[in-house]
Amino acid sequence: MTEFAVSTSNEQSIFAALELSKNSWLLAIRVPGRDNPSLHPIKGGDAEGLIAKLDAARDRVAKVTGQAPTVTLCYEAGYDGFWLARFLEQRGIECLVMEPASLQVNRRARRVKTDRIDVESILHTLIAWCRGERHVCSMVVVPSVEEEDLRRSHRERDRLIRERTAHINRIKGLLFGQGIRGINVKAHYKTLTPSALVTADGRPLPERLGREITREIERLAQVQAQIVAVEHERDKAPTPCVATERQRHQLLRLKGVGPALSSTLTREVYYRRFVNRRQVASYSGITPSAYDSGEGRRSQGISKAGNRLARVAMIEAAWLWVRHQPDSALTQWFHDRTRGQKGRIRRIMIVALARKLAIAFWRYLETGLIPEGAVVK
């Protein structure tokens, strides 16, 4: 399910919107000939109950018009994921998943937050979108089960890396509180023995503190073992998506792009079909966000409206590109604009480089055009 296919005969279509929460769903249905939608509360997770409500509405319209109408339903991407969209498609209901951040909100409605207001807003937006007003919101491309499963390894690794950093910082903080500095916990945690450490004022570590550090070291070792296992699964497990795997190996040919980065980029970004370079940068959330009102004009930084993992990966790729591809045209562009600069200016320009690099990778994967001056392994 990679393309949007929605019926255009709006006059004989049933439009529905679903507001999801953990314990309850609220369904809004608008049938032909009625301006006001009907609202139907449903128990959270009751997919069959949802189908029953939609089928009942379809039967009522069919009795009046003499023909079965199409049903198009929309809900916001979030807690329930994509299983519901696949379930509805299997039952003959066109389902769209809306990107929540793209939904335009009435300024007056911002003061009040209810499920009824939310579901009616989703419904009105869906109807406008199906009329061809594609600017009203952005729809998420629902991945296949295989595509979604491919993302799990690098997403789990991302969470484990953050967890490992938390354990390392916790151990450093406990040692720092006793005046013990200069220990590379990440590199030497296997040989770190709390009972052998001495505080800055010459005392052995307190007994309970030593046991706490020991437990943190054990948790750190467990997380590190899981990271190794996930990386092995990511690199060795066969994938049913031949095109994605081909793209991953193609990116690996570029010096500075490793297994983790290539997996994240291909499975989070380049599995999608982009029409132009603006879509590539926008999806990663690394496009500039401008403020232009009256005489005031300024840049508000990047939008951060896209895929977070993609954005982090592209910025990481930009730093690695500068280090490992010093003779490339993109690296020279970066150095020309940051010569003599430090800190903030370099961080701003690395984001600009990440945007250019995202587009260069896209062209490379689509056409085989290697970025100018880049070294291939």
Q: Does 281 share its domain with 362?
A: yes
The pLDDT of residue 8:
44
Among 181, 207, 236, which residue terminates a domain? 236
Q: Does 137 share its domain with 155?
A: no
Q: Does 260 share its domain with 331?
A: yes
Low-confidence ranges of the chain (pLDDT < 70): 1-11, 106-111, 237-240, 288-305
What tokens appear for 214 in the block? Answer: 């020991």
Convert the pLDDT of each residue in 350-362 to its tens digit: 999 999 999 999 9
Is position 317 within any domain? Answer: yes
Q: Does 16 share its domain with 138?
A: yes
Q: Does 16 share its domain with 134?
A: yes
Chain-centre distance of CA 153, in angstroms? 14
The pLDDT of residue 308:
85
Q: Does 104 share its domain with 19?
A: yes
Q: Does 284 share its domain with 191?
A: no
Which of these, 324, 305, 302, 317, lies nearest to 362 by C-alpha position?
317
Q: Does 268 share its domain with 357?
A: yes
- 295 exposure class (CB count in 10 Å sphere: 0-12, 13-18, 19+): exposed
Can you give the CATH number for the domain in which 16 is found?
Answer: 3.30.420
For residues 224, 226, 232 and 237, what is the CA-based torsion angle, rounded to 10 degrees? Answer: -160
Q: Where are the alpha helices (DSSP H) in the chain?
A: 47-65, 83-90, 115-130, 145-150, 152-176, 185-188, 207-236, 242-252, 259-265, 277-284, 308-324, 329-338, 344-367
Is position 168 within any domain? Answer: yes
Among 116, 142, 168, which residue terminates a domain? 142
At residue 273, what is the residue type? R
Among 124, 142, 160, which residue terminates a domain? 142
The pTM score is 0.75
**Residue 113: domain span:** 10-142
Report the number of distinct structural domains present in the chain. Answer: 3
Q: Does 259 share its domain with 220?
A: no
Cα–Cα distance, 70 to 75 (Å, whole number): 17
Q: Does 37 share its domain with 114?
A: yes
Which of these, 270, 305, 272, 268, lies nearest to 286 by C-alpha position?
305
Cβ 192 vs Cβ 269: under 8 Å: no
Is position 5 within any domain? Answer: no
